Amino acid sequence: MLDLKRIRQEPGAVRDELARRGNREATDAAVDRVLSLDEERRALIGEGDALKARRNAVSQEVGERKRRGDAADDVIVEMRAVAERIKAVDARLREIEAEIEDVLLHTPNAPDAGVPVGGEEANVVVRSWGEPCSPDFEPRPHWEIGAELGLFDLPAGAKVAGSGFPVFTGWGARLQRALVSWMLDLHRENHGYTEAIPPFVVNQASMLGTGQYPKFVEEGDAYEIPADGLYLVPTAEVPVTNLLRDELLDAVRLPVAYVAYSPCFRREAGAAGKDTRGLLRLHQFDKVELVRFERPEHSSEALELLTRHAERVLQLLGLPYRVVLLAAGDLGFSSSRTYDLEVWAPGVGRWLEVSSCSNCRDFQARRANIRFRPAPGEKPEFVHTLNGSGVALPRTTIALIENGQQADGSVVVPEVLRPYLGVERFTP
């Protein structure tokens, strides 16, 4: 959520920042709406406060008169009218504040200054690692290899739950478990993260805290459990970031860094029929997520650090990848700056997004009310929150299969996973 005070103080700057996302008309309208509502709001506060001051003074007088045994009927009659008026003013004020909140909750984060303007086509590859080379035989797509080696059974998953709910079997299942264990170990031992297993459902306050509510939910992308007011987590970012919701942290506790495994559930309402082949796009998938809470002045460098931590996973797996700085129009709702990690998959002949590392600055912290006291005696400030996949499993699995495939139909297992799996390759 953007800072109402800042919108009031520098509306022009806020307009320009938001316009970088590419829909100036809509964002300008939101800012203007907030400004006019805020003006009305402050006028009503003035009126209401004056009435309440009168009420407080008279109530005190009534108390004194009653204690003395005097009558107070005359002012009590006056106060009935004042109380009515206060109720009306407060009711209108609540409406206005709810509307301001509604607009603000639907308004995305402002992109960082260094973020390129434009849509997806304006994304910038900032670096790459490894050679996206194809083998000297015709590489096959992962769904063929997977079926042949019995790594997963998509028709079975479709029967049990529906299309997009995969079933991993045999070495494929063990590979998922190995990847999760190894990634958690890597980030905990080498990168200093605290391991966490969060709830896989969250309440509405949590969805609001990280920015999924209201938009993501309204657009039908979340799995809901109406009977309990819960949602299946679309990413561990939601429960883990909300671990510190409504907390006032000691500055010495920062940074806080969590690595968490969770399955992720997404309805992908807007993406029907797109990239549906094999494991490319799923309704349920596993992910290891990195979440950091930082002092504001450290969040920019923390995003670089967190991105390097995610990259380390791909390097150790030996998968060629590139780092893409997202343009403003391609940014997620809550993010001010995002690096996508895209891994090369020769079988499908494409770069696949396996991680998205974002600095949300104070956008989520303001929604979730996550603060810290910079120094003893100073005012609490909002922390900056960051998150990134470290990394998502299915597309990493695709890359492992398609990059590891051999002419004889076997798939070579990366060295780092061998202690977890006990084999060097998967064979037919």
Partner RNA sequence: GGAGGGUUGUCCGAACUGGUCAAGGAACUCGUCUUGAAAACGAGCGCCCGCAAGGGCUUGUGGGUUCGAGUCCCACACCCUCCGCCA
**Active-site annotation, residues:** 266, 281, 353, 356, 395
Tokens of 341: 């990690």
Q: Which of residues 328-357 bind RNA (CB under 7 A)?
A: none
Longest dimension (CA), the chain: 103
CA 328 – CA 330 distance, rounded (Å): 5
Which residue number, 51 or 343, has a Cβ lying nearer to RNA?
51
Cβ burial 257-266 (10 Å sphere, 16+ → b, else e): bbbbbbebbb
Which residue number, 82 or 243, has a Cβ lying nearer to RNA?
82
Residue with tokens 């086509």: 121
Which residue number, 5 or 274, has a Cβ lying nearer to RNA?
5
Query: According to CB under 7 A, which one of 26, 35, 58, 103 is a site residue for RNA?
Result: 58
Residue with tokens 């050679």: 131
Query: According to CB under 7 A, which one of 42, 127, 177, 277 is a site residue for RNA?
Result: 42
Query: According to CB under 7 A, which one of 5, 131, 270, 408 is a site residue for RNA?
Result: 5
Stretch that binds RNA, among 24-32, 42-50, 142-150, 170-178 (CB under 7 A): 42-50
Residue 373 Cβ vs RNA, minimum distance, rounded to whole Å: 8
x/- map, 195-234, RNA, by CB under 7 A:
----------------------------------------
Which residue number, 7 or 175, has a Cβ lying nearer to RNA?
7
Tokens of 116: 């390129």
Question: Strand (E) positions, 86-229?
Answer: 124-129, 194-196, 201-203, 224-225
CA 349 – CA 132 distance, rounded (Å): 10
Size of the site for RNA (CB under 7 A): 31
Which residue number, 77 or 272, has a Cβ lying nearer to RNA?
77
Which residue number, 139 or 380, has a Cβ lying nearer to RNA?
380
Query: According to CB under 7 A, which one of 189, 376, 407, 408 is a site residue for RNA?
Result: 376
Query: According to CB under 7 A, which one of 9, 36, 56, 190 is a site residue for RNA?
Result: 56
Amino acid found at 60: Q
CA 88 – CA 96 distance, rounded (Å): 13
Query: According to CB under 7 A, which one of 9, 36, 60, 406 is a site residue for RNA?
Result: 60
Residue 282 Cβ vs RNA, minimum distance, rounded to whole Å: 27
Query: According to CB under 7 A, which one of 23, 24, 32, 76 is a site residue for RNA?
Result: 76
Q: Which residues contact 40 (CB under 8 A, 6 or more apart)?
A: 96
Tokens of 66: 């009653």
Query: According to CB under 7 A, which one of 80, 127, 159, 418 is a site residue for RNA?
Result: 80
Do the bridges between strand 337-345 and strand 194-196 make them parallel or antiparallel, or are there none, so unpaired?
unpaired
Query: According to CB under 7 A, which one of 6, 24, 66, 177 is a site residue for RNA?
Result: 66
Is residue 389 within 8 Å of 260, Cβ to Cβ?
no
Stretch that binds RNA, among 62-70, 167-175, 267-275, 298-306 (CB under 7 A): 62-70
Q: Which of residues 234-263 bind RNA (CB under 7 A)?
A: 248
- The number of angstroms, rounded, from the C-alpha of 343 to the middle of its chain's C-alpha atoms is 21
Q: Which residues contact 53 (CB under 8 A, 6 or more apart)?
A: none
Query: According to CB under 7 A, which one of 6, 23, 36, 63 is a site residue for RNA?
Result: 63
Q: Per rule CB under 7 A, is residue 48 in the interface with RNA?
A: yes
Residue 376 Cβ vs RNA, minimum distance, rounded to whole Å: 3
Is residue 60 within 8 Å of 72, Cβ to Cβ?
no
Residue 40 Cβ vs RNA, minimum distance, rounded to whole Å: 12
Helices assigned H by DSSP within 169-244: 170-189, 204-210, 215-218, 237-241
Helix (H, G, I), strand (E, B) or coil at 340: strand
Tokens of 86: 């206060």
Question: Strand (E) positions, 130-237?
Answer: 194-196, 201-203, 224-225, 230-232
Task: Give the side-chain half-sphere CA count within 13 A for 268.
Answer: 17
Which residue number, 69 or 376, has a Cβ lying nearer to RNA?
376
Q: Which residues bind RNA (CB under 7 A)?
A: 5, 42, 45-46, 48-50, 52-53, 55-60, 62-63, 66-67, 76, 79-80, 82-83, 87, 94, 248, 376-377, 379-380
